[in-house]
Structure 1
């Protein structure tokens, strides 16, 4: 099974939607920012309403693993939605959204502690781990150390330096004094071959920036 095959279809659809909203803003597509913001809140509501249990019930086996994967990706996609769209000025920076991100970050770290220790699921945790790394700019050294440690371990498991590149990018971000998504991913990186979504099936094939996925 490839990383793209573990994505819950509903959450994959929301990632595509969020990416499209970011592109609308950055490319100054037609449509008011107010409408785009409304669509962003609707996407966040759908993400929050996603049921990992329903995902696992649709599988013939390994339902416990599927529930874990569903919960991991639910929190990761929620973080992607808020952090990337706040950076694009689509969503505001409010105490409520900050508290939501903090809660998803804590939950995601707890889930990753389990899923990264399992040979059955750890290969699918690169993208969620990066999302935790971006959220960790708001957290403490413990979370950052957790992300760095597991990116190093993933590099050994997959046999490539891509997780190490992600580790360096995140470390630079943590020390930059900036907290925005686009400050972390300020240029293209060769992560798209490792990031769990095969976005090339939706948009014209070209290397994509991690900040837009």
Structure 2
């Protein structure tokens, strides 16, 4: 298991919702997704795992922050959520701070490190608003993942993010103008 089932379900629903045009129904569905994400408790989920509960707690906390941030960024980009909502701006900042704080512990935990591609990419999109040091850290970690795992997928993510950062950022869809599969 890499991702708690509850979060994976929300990922599918987010991606499905992004395929629909903006409407009152998509806005309502997007709000319900955010509510369900807010109610997810990483500690409770990790307690159900038979072993390595500390690793699962860290991983589920990372994915919870990344999924919440992804939901806001991508659903705003698609028009399902308002891009000018002060409440969403606060939630985005909260989830970004949490994700950035968990990146280092995640990359230092051997069982978690190999599952960090997607959270690093989500953090990378948000890092367009952060310092060059944060961007360099994410790029370095993606390069290390590629080397350690012997595959180019993290380097593809790094290239996409570096192009986005060079443009000064923008929306989720500005970063991913073309479909990119960033899974290991």
**How far has the Cα of 1:53 moved from its partner?**
1.1
- Residues 131-142 of structure 1 mapped to structure 2, 5 A cutoff: 131-142=122-133
Equivalent in the alignment of 2:45: 55
Q: Which moved more, 1:11-20 or 1:87-96?
A: 87-96
User: Which structure is higher in helix share?
Assistant: 2
Task: Output the TM-score relative to the length of structure 1.
Answer: 0.82
**How far has the Cα of 1:96 moved from its partner?**
2.2
Task: Output the TM-score relative to the length of structure 2.
Answer: 0.94
Q: Which moved more, 1:176-185 or 1:38-47?
A: 176-185
Mapped partners of 1:34, 1:123: distance in 2:
39
Equivalent in the alignment of 1:165: 156
Equivalent in the alignment of 2:178: 187
The 8 Å contact of residues 47 and 53 in structure 2, kept in 1 or not, is answered as yes
Q: Which runs of 4+ in 1 moved over 2 A?
A: 188-191
Is structure 2 residue 70 aligned with structure 1 residue 74?
no
Q: Unaligned 5+ residue runs, structure 2?
A: none
The 8 Å contact of residues 33 and 90 in structure 1, kept in 2 or not, is answered as yes
Mapped partners of 1:142, 1:98: distance in 2:
23
What's the C-alpha RMSD, in Å, of the aligned pairs?
1.3
- Residues 19-98 of structure 1 mapped to structure 2, 5 A cutoff: 19-25=15-21, 33-93=23-83, 94-98=85-89
